[in-house]
Structure 1
Amino acid sequence: MPELYDGIGRHIHYLRVAVTDRCNFRCQYCMPAEGVEWIEHHDILRYEEILRIISAFASLGINKVRITGGEPLVRKGLLPFLKKVTQIPGIEEVGLTTNGSLLEEYALRLKEAGIGRINVSLDTLQRERFIKVTGQDQLNQVLAGIKKAQEVGLTPVKINMVVMKGFNSDEVIDMAKLAIDHPYQIRFIEYMPFNTGENYLFTAEEMEQQFIDAGFNNLIPQMKSSSPAKIYSVPGFQGTIGFISPVSRHFCDSCNRIRLTPDGYLKPCLLSNDEYSLRDELRSGISDAELREKIKQIVWNKPTEHHLKQGKKSERGMSRIGG
């Protein structure tokens, strides 16, 4: 089986694919509440173009794909597309990241399409804060979607909380307690400075201190995996908790992923401005062999690490990259 490596020897086998920049939420760290400039429709990759790119990656050794957005469930025709992705030879796991607002409706159909696991973005359990951060009064719908995903077997359900100092950093323990009675994996993510003009960084170390202060002193590390999250079990919890620290304790040396944006750019690093258009190549008649060589060249030049500490930021908003 072929394998894909970059120039410093990292094994790249995980492709994250953003199928749209559209979203029915307006989360403040992802996109502005007003004045959103959507990518033009003709610049968005067609499903057949995405399938061709995923197939090329699979032939090079990519075995894990995650579908993201924007909010992927708002794009028409998603379910038949997902079923085709799961049938690509070499692809062993297909997951999906969602804001959860449509998950109750779609959970069973996602399972039937071959989706294995779901990540749900949920940054607060307080209704007024939820409205403030998302622009929508849909907290109950998201919680119902999480419950439905668990019921149909999209497990383990992973709940991603972006922890923002001064906004929701006082809810870390409350969010973690969802894992007491449910087998969820609650993952606390450091805020990353995209082009929103704010810095809400609350470090993983500060989050961990909250657990100590709350009396949860016995966090038991789980076996190391390729995930960027440091996962812990907690006595008395059905589920687990995890911390993702892209800023304070970056994990660039073990990064195994590459991203495809909605408009067809490959981004070897989430927090770098390096990106390479595959859309233009596809629409200019590139052959499959040439496409594979292009991909290998891009992966080979994947940056060694991001440069946040040097003050550099991503010029794309998160919705235009993919969560």
Structure 2
Amino acid sequence: MLLDTYGRIATDLRVSLTDRCNLRCTYCMPEEGLQWLGKPDLLTDDEIVRMVRIAVTLLGVKDVRFTGGEPLLRPGVVGIVERCAALEPRPRMSLTTNGIGLARTAAALRDAGLNRVNVSLDTLRPDVFQTLTRRKRHDDVIRGLEAARDAGLTPVKVNTVLMRGINDDEAPELLQWALDHGYELRFIEQMPLDAQHGWQRDDMVTADEILTSLGGRFTLTPEPDAARGHAPAERWLVDGGPARVGVIASVTRPFCRACDRTRLTADGQIRNCLFAREESDLRGPLRDGAGDEEMAELWKKAMWGKKAGSGLDDPVAFQQPERPMSAIGG
């Protein structure tokens, strides 16, 4: 098991397939100038599959989420999914994407064994989308969402970050749209993981603000804590259900005590927390010929040192990680 000193057990693995992205979201990266990882630094497809196999067969991981950057930019993504689906025991597999490549890959990913997707979409307005992402790709994301739903990669979850003065007035409109199209919407507080380190706590749209905005149009009933489990999203039934909306309040309502995640970066580093400032190198031992059992022990050691919390609840002492979200994986 991937156990830490606080008794938490990591059963959810996030695997970053690349640090590259075809959008330039303002809360994630600058418009240009970000240094990408070189190809020799990236884990190969075989190395990724081996690391997932070690996690699933030796360390008790049950859920695998492929992330980026934008994971659909990885040429071998379908093959990676297919090979991981053949593992025993078979992990539940999902993928977090900006949706741009889903229209052409959703059916192939389903056939390979992917269970579902999370798609990032912050606005229903193409002009606002261009402002936020610096790209004219709104229609591509909408088509990607439809393709994922039609392929049966359900529930299709939509991740939305609200930015003050840009799209913070869209919360009720976004929820109604998600209800109309059969998507499950999750609002995420903007987190301090931008490459330019420009995040300001006072600029963030908080969970309380989001819920107040939604409450003006919908009746929200909190789900019991037991229904949430280890999930980061607090969820509410919308107008009595069965439709739900979630809010991930990483900053104002940290959920570190229930964290069950471990992260593998695209260059083979283990991160035991999204906001960690330290990493444990597994790529080196992997390429130096370490066996599966040795790799598993190194991974367990990396998780044993996990801190009690992310530190986000201490505005004075918190230090943002050097790596941005695109290089960490969600």
**TM more than 0.5:** yes
AA at the equivalent of 2:53? S
Which residue identity lines up with residue 191 of structure 2 in the other structure? Answer: M
- Indicate which of 259, 262, 265 corresponds to 2:263: 259
Q: Does residue 198 of structure 1 match 2:199?
A: yes
How do residues 1-323 of structure 1 correspond to structure 2 at under 5 angstroms? 3-58=1-56, 59-194=58-193, 195-196=195-196, 197-199=198-200, 200-212=203-215, 214-221=216-223, 223-235=227-239, 239-308=243-312, 309=314, 310-323=317-330
Check the 8 A contact 1:179/1:238 in 2, yes or no.
Answer: no
Question: Once the 2 structures are TM-superposed, how far is the Cα of residue 237 of structure 1 from its aligned partner?
Answer: 6.6
Q: CA deviation at 1:311?
A: 2.9
8 Å Cα contact 1:184/1:240 also seen in 2: no
AA aligned to 2:235 is: I
Equivalent pairs counted in the alignment come to 320
TM-score normalised by L of structure 2: 0.93
Task: Name the CA distance, whole Å, in 1 between partners of 2:177 and 2:244.
Answer: 10
Tell whether the 8 Å contact from 2:84 to 2:91 is kept in structure 1 after alignment.
no
The residue type equivalent to 2:319 in the other structure is K
Q: Counterpart of 2:128 in 1: which secondary structure?
A: helix
**In structure 2, what residue type is equivalent to 1:257?**
R
Structure 2: segments with no counterpart, 5+ residues:
none
**SS in structure 2 at match of 1:148:** helix
1:55 partner letter: R
Post-superposition offset of 1:106:
0.8
Q: In structure 2, the residue corresponding to 1:249 is in which secondary structure? A: coil
1:104 Cα offset (Å): 1.0
CA deviation digits over 1:187-227, x for unaligned, max 9?
00000112431324111011111122x23233342622321
Q: State the alpha-carbon separation in 2 of the partners of residues 31 and 129 from structure 1.
A: 17
Gaps spanning 5+ residues in structure 1: where?
none
CA distance, structure 2, for counterparts of residue 171 and residue 57 of structure 1: 40
CA distance, structure 1, for counterparts of residue 173 and residue 229 of structure 2: 26
- How far residue 135 of structure 1 moved from its aligned partner, in angstroms, is 1.8
Query: How much identity, in percent, do the aligned residues show?
Result: 40
AA aligned opposite 2:47: E
Deviates further, 114-123 or 79-88: 79-88
Range with bigger deviation, 216-225 or 41-50 = 216-225
Structure 2 distance, partners of 1:39, 1:30, is 16
Give per-residue Cα distances to partners, 1:54-100, cap 9 Å, x unaligned: 11111210011000111111111211111001112123301001100
Deviation at 1:238, TM superposition (A): 6.5
Contact 2:221 2:240 in 1 (8 A): no
AA partner of residue 215 (structure 1)? R
Alpha-carbon shift at residue 180 of structure 1 (Å): 2.5
Residue 148 of structure 1, CA deviation: 1.4
Q: Which deviates further from its counterpart, 231-240 or 195-204?
A: 231-240
Q: Are 1:261 and 1:322, in contact at CA under 8 Å, matched by a contact in 2?
A: yes
**Bigger Cα displacement from structure 2, 177-186 vs 25-34:** 177-186
Shift of 1:162: 1.3
CA distance in 1, matches of 2:178, 2:222: 14
1:179–1:65 Cα change, 3 Å: same
8 A Cα contact 1:221 1:231, kept in partner:
yes
Q: Could you tell me whether the CA contact under 8 Å between 2:219 and 2:239 is conserved in 1?
A: no
Counterpart contact for 1:15–1:260, Cα < 8 Å: yes
Aligned CA RMSD, in angstroms, stands at 1.5
Per mean C-alpha deviation after superposition, the further-off stretch among 122-131 and 196-205 is 196-205
SS in 2 for 1:16: strand
